[in-house]
Chain A
Amino acid sequence: MNARAPRPNNVVTQSLAQIGLCGLFLLTLLGAIPRSFRYLRETVRQLWFVGAMSLTIIMVCGLFVGMVLMLQLYHVLSIFGGTSASGMVVALSVYRELGPVVTALLFAGRAGTAVTAEIGLMRATDQISAMEMMAVDPVAYVATPRFLAGLIAMPLLCCVFCAMAIFGGHLVGVTWLGIDNGTFWSNMTAQVDVHTDIVNGVLLKSLAFGAVVSLIAVFQGFTTPPTSEGVAYATTRTVVASSIAILALDFVLTAFLM
Chain B
Amino acid sequence: MTQPVRSPPDDATLVRIRGLTTVLNGKTIFDALDLDIPRGRITSIMGPSGTGKTTLLKHITGQMHADEGSIHVDGRNVAELSREELYKLREGVGYLFQNSALLTDFDVFENVAFPLRQHTKLPEALIRNLVLMKLQAVGLRGAARLMPNELSGGMARRVALARAIVFDPQLILYDEPFVGLDPVALNQVLKLILTLNQTLGITSVLVSHELAAVQQIADHVVLLAKGKVVAQGDPKTIADDGSPWTRQFFGGEADGPIPFRYPAGDYATELGFAGATK
Contacts and interface: CB of A to CB of B under 8 A. Distances in A.
Given A134-B114, A134-B115, A126 B101 contact: yes
A134 B90 contact: yes
Given A127-B103, A129-B63, A132-B63, A137 B87 contact: yes
A133 B90 contact: yes
Decide if the interface of chain A is mainly helix, strand, loop or mixed: helix
Contacts of A137: 83, 87
Contacts of B115: 134-136
Interface in A152-187: none
B37 to A, nearest CB: 17
Contacts of B114: 134, 136
A131 B119 CA distance: 12
B118 interface: yes
A130 to B, nearest CB: 4
A227 interface: no
Contacts of A125: 99, 101, 104
Contacts of A130: 95, 97, 101-103
B91 interface: yes
Contacts of B95: 130, 133
Could you say which interface size class chain A belongs to? 10 to 19
B87 A129 contact: no
B93 interface: yes
Contacts, number: 47
A126 B90 CA distance: 16
A40 to B, nearest CB: 14
Contact of B118 (A126, A129, A135): A135
B61 interface: yes
A52 to B, nearest CB: 17
Contacts of B118: 134-136
B145 interface: no
A35 to B, nearest CB: 11
Q: Which of B93, B97, B101, B119 has the most CB of A within 10 A?
A: B101
B6 interface: no
A100 B76 CA distance: 52
Interface in A100-140: 121-122, 125-127, 129-137
Interface in B75-121: 83, 87-88, 90-91, 93, 95, 97-99, 101-104, 114-115, 118-119
A126 B93 contact: no
A233 B104 CA distance: 22
Nearest to B94: A133
A133 B61 contact: yes
A132 to B, nearest CB: 6
A121 B99 CA distance: 13
Contacts of A129: 63, 97, 101
Contact of A133 (B93, B104, B119): B93
A135 B164 CA distance: 12
A121 B103 CA distance: 11
A17 B63 CA distance: 24
Interface string B51-65: 000000000010100
B99 A133 contact: no
A129 B175 CA distance: 13
Interface string B2-30: 00000000000000000000000000000
B63 A127 contact: no
A134 B61 CA distance: 11
Nearest to A131: B103
A222 to B, nearest CB: 15
B214 to A, nearest CB: 23
Interface of B: 61, 63, 83, 87-88, 90-91, 93, 95, 97-99, 101-104, 114-115, 118-119, 163
26 contacts: A125-B101, A125-B104, A126-B98, A127-B101, A127-B102, A127-B103, A129-B63, A129-B101, A130-B95, A130-B103, A131-B103, A133-B63, A133-B90, A133-B93, A133-B97, A134-B90, A134-B114, A134-B115, A134-B118, A135-B87, A135-B91, A135-B119, A136-B115, A136-B118, A137-B83, A137-B87
Given A127-B104, A133-B63, A133-B93, 13 more contacts: A122-B104, A126-B101, A127-B101, A127-B102, A129-B63, A129-B101, A131-B103, A132-B90, A133-B97, A134-B114, A135-B91, A136-B114, A137-B83
